[in-house]
């Protein structure tokens, strides 16, 4: 099969050349010596017969070999947004999938999430966009305001375009996390009813040239061609691949809450994705479920995190707790009435410590690859963590489909998978690092502490929003305009 190289389709030109060379000489000789003679005509007929037989036999062999099923059996550790999207993308590209999720049932924090246009393009390709839009909320604009006065610094209108194609080629949608996961999980159950395995906590894996085996905490074993570690920021797959490392507490915590809009009256935040900026803190407001709910994320820097918040436990990346309304009010005291009124209506505020990791140079080893937060956890200041996981999922599935026995000239066991995963990493690393860096930079932008810092950061923003709104918008083009579904791996 080594002759079958390049991107030649099964059983086509190149193999007929191989046959031709072998039989051309006797045919030519026969034609030269015997044309017209009955004897030689018989010889020629027999040769043609043999040739045809040989062609069809070879064709059969080649067809069988060339169509050696390129379907990969993909094991996915983690049934979060990244893992579920990767599973759907793998099915779309013709692979088999098994999603191993540790929880008894899929669940999410009771909060919202923004799905920017770059992620919506993947959901469009998976034919889930209509349901996402129907269950979510499409903001009229993205805007930035000062936290205390409410002064609008800039606004990027996306609402008008959403009905058609969206500013960046797809809509911008905000949705409750539970609804998002439900849409993904329901689609997966419909497209591959056996694919999701719950109560399946991945413990470790082994791999060799022929495949990968995952061992669960309860001893069960699953075999496949590829393992995707989509098991989030505390990834056990990452730990086994690259050793234990420690995430760094960024000094920021995030309050999260949702409030029914009817409780907010005239102080309901605008129907936008709005960042409210202030000294050492910022918050984000947006709507969910067709405007029935308002989502609030309040990020606060803690230079001296008080002792009673168990500083020691901040080594634990999963740190979160139920806080009190009073603490939340204290964090945003003196802010615009829209924010303080919203906080007054919060029933059970929860707070998360925000951790970060240095960008990793490598997400792949052999038949195992990481995606989403397992590969590139990022601060939520660009609303891109899950969006990047969604892009990763598509890219990985497409990379696996891009490599078949026909496109890898000299193949040994497992080479197609290795080539595919190398393609995936080459495609994704730079963009994910850029999003990680941009998210970090936004902490500086949003949290300006000094008056001078505020003036030099926010005045140009305000001016830009007035005189060159398109230029403000264009700064986000690299992020939102990108369409991972159009990328060709090679």
* Residues found near ligand FAD in the complex (CB under 6 A): 77-83, 100-103, 113-114, 200-202, 230-232, 236, 254, 256, 297, 352, 372-374, 380, 383-387, 389
CB 247 within 8 A of CB 355: yes
- Backbone torsions φ then ψ of 273, nearest 5 degrees: -95, 110
Q: Is 330 helix (H, G, I), strand (E, B) or coil?
A: helix
Nearest distance from C-beta of residue 286 to ligand FAD, angstroms: 8
Phi-psi category of residue 7: left, alpha or beta, with phi > 0 → left and psi -120 to 50 → alpha? alpha
Specify the residue, 82 or 147, whose C-beta has the smaller distance to ligand FAD: 82
> What does the alpha-carbon distance between residue 475 and residue 490 come to, in Å, rounded to a whole number?
29
Q: Is 227 helix (H, G, I), strand (E, B) or coil?
A: strand
CB 365 within 8 A of CB 374: no
Q: Is 474 helix (H, G, I), strand (E, B) or coil?
A: helix
Specify the residue, 74 or 297, whose C-beta has the smaller distance to ligand FAD: 297
Nearest distance from C-beta of residue 83 to ligand FAD, angstroms: 5
Nearest distance from C-beta of residue 96 to ligand FAD, angstroms: 18
Specify the residue, 11 or 117, whose C-beta has the smaller distance to ligand FAD: 117
**Distances from the Cα of 201 to the Cαs of 34, 186, 235, 361, in angstroms?**
75, 21, 11, 27
Specify the residue, 383 or 421, whose C-beta has the smaller distance to ligand FAD: 383
Nearest distance from C-beta of residue 273 to ligand FAD, angstroms: 9
State how beta strands 96-100 and 202-207 pair. Answer: unpaired
- Backbone torsions φ then ψ of 390, nearest 5 degrees: -65, -45
Specify the residue, 43 or 106, whose C-beta has the smaller distance to ligand FAD: 106
Nearest distance from C-beta of residue 239 to ligand FAD, angstroms: 10
Nearest distance from C-beta of residue 59 to ligand FAD, angstroms: 45
Specify the residue, 122 or 421, whose C-beta has the smaller distance to ligand FAD: 122
Specify the residue, 236 or 403, whose C-beta has the smaller distance to ligand FAD: 236
Nearest distance from C-beta of residue 263 to ligand FAD, angstroms: 22
DSSP 219: S
Task: Give the tokens for residue 155.
Answer: 């606004």
């Amino acid at each position: 099969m080594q002759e079958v190289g390049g991107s030649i389709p099964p059983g086509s030109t190149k193999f007929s050349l191989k046959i031709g060379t072998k039989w051309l000489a006797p045919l030519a000789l026969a034609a030269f010596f015997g044309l017209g003679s009955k004897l030689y005509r018989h010889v020629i007929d027999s040769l043609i017969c043999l040739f045809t037989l040989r062609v069809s036999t070879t064709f059969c062999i080649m067809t069988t070999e060339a169509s050696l099923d390129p379907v990969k059996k993909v094991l996915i550790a983690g049934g979060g947004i990244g893992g579920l999207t990767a599973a759907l993308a793998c099915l779309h590209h013709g692979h088999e999938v098994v999603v191993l999720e540790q929880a008894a049932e899929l669940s999410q924090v009771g909060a919202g999430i923004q799905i920017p246009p770059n992620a919506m393009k993947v959901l469009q390709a998976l034919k889930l966009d209509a349901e996402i839009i129907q269950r979510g909320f499409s903001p009229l604009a993205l805007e930035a305001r000062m936290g205390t006065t409410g002064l609008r610094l800039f606004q990027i209108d996306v609402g008008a375009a959403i009905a058609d194609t969206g500013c960046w080629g797809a809509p911008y949608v905000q949705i409750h996390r539970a609804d998002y996961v439900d849409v993904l999980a329901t689609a997966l159950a419909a497209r591959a009813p056996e694919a999701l395995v719950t109560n399946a906590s991945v413990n470790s894996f082994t791999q060799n040239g022929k495949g990968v085996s995952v061992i669960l905490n309860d001893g069960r074993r699953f075999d496949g061609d590829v393992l995707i570690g989509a098991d989030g920021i505390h990834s056990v797959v990452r730990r086994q691949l690259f050793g234990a490392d420690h995430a760094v507490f960024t000094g920021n915590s995030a309050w999260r809450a949702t409030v029914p809009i009817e409780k907010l009256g005239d102080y309901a935040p605008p129907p936008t994705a709005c960042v409210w900026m202030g000294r050492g803190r910022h918050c984000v407001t947006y709507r969910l479920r067709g405007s029935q709910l308002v989502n609030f994320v309040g990020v606060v820097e803690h230079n001296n995190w008080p002792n009673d918040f168990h500083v020691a436990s901040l080594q634990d990346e999963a740190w979160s707790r139920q806080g009190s309304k009073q603490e939340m009010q204290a964090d945003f005291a003196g802010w615009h009435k829209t924010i303080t009124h919203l906080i007054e209506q919060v029933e059970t505020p929860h707070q998360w410590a925000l951790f970060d990791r240095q960008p990793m140079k490598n997400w792949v080893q052999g038949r195992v690859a990481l995606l989403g937060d397992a590969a590139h956890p990022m601060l939520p200041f660009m609303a891109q963590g899950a969006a990047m996981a969604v892009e990763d999922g598509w890219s990985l599935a497409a990379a696996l489909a891009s490599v078949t026995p026909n496109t890898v000239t000299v193949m040994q066991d497992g080479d197609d998978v290795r080539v595919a995963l190398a393609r995936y990493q080459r495609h994704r690393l730079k963009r994910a690092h850029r999003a990680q860096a941009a998210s970090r930079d936004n902490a500086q932008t949003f949290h300006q502490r000094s008056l001078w810092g505020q003036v030099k950061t926010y005045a140009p923003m305000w001016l830009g929003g007035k005189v060159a709104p398109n230029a403000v918008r264009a700064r986000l083009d690299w992020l939102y305009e990108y369409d991972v579904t159009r990328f060709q791996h090679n």
